[in-house]
Amino acid sequence: MPSKEKFMKLYEPAHKRLCNYVQALVHNREEARDIISETTLIAFEKFETIIDSEKFIYYLFGIARNLFLKKLKEDKRSSASLFDTNYSNESAEGKVWKYELTRILNLLNPEDRNRLVLFEIAGFSYKEIAAITGESEQKVKASLYQTRQYLKSFAEKENHQLTKMKKA
Among the residue ranges 123-132, 144-153, 156-165, the one predicted with the least confidence is 156-165
Report which secondary-structure segment, H or E, holds 97.
helix 92-105
3-state per-residue secondary structure call for 62-85: HHHHHHHHHHHHHCCCCHHHCCCC
Q: Give domain limits for the chain.
A: 4-167
Question: Per-residue confidence at 78, pLDDT binned at 50, 70, 90?
Answer: very low
167 or 137, higher pLDDT = 137
**pLDDT tens readout for residues 100-119:** 777 777 788 889 999 998 99
Q: Mean of the per-residue pLDDT values for the chain?
A: 82
Rounded CA separation 132/82 (Å): 22
Q: What percent of the chain has pLDDT over 90?
A: 43
Whether residue 143 has pLDDT greater than 70 = yes
| Amino acid at residue number 6 | K
Whether residue 26 has pLDDT greater than 70 = yes
Rounded CA separation 53/51 (Å): 6
The answer to whether 64 touches 22, Cβ cutoff 8 Å, is yes
CB-side exposure of 58: number of CA atoms within 13 Å? 17
| pTM for the structure as a whole | 0.72
User: How wide is the angle at C-alpha 162 spanned by C-alphas 85 and 28, nearest 5°?
Assistant: 10
Rounded CA separation 26/81 (Å): 9
Whether residue 90 has pLDDT greater than 80 = no
Cβ neighbours of residue 106 under 8 Å, at least 6 residues apart? 79, 83, 113
Q: Please state the rounded mean pLDDT for residues 77-93.
A: 53
Q: What CATH number labels 4-167? A: 1.20.140.160
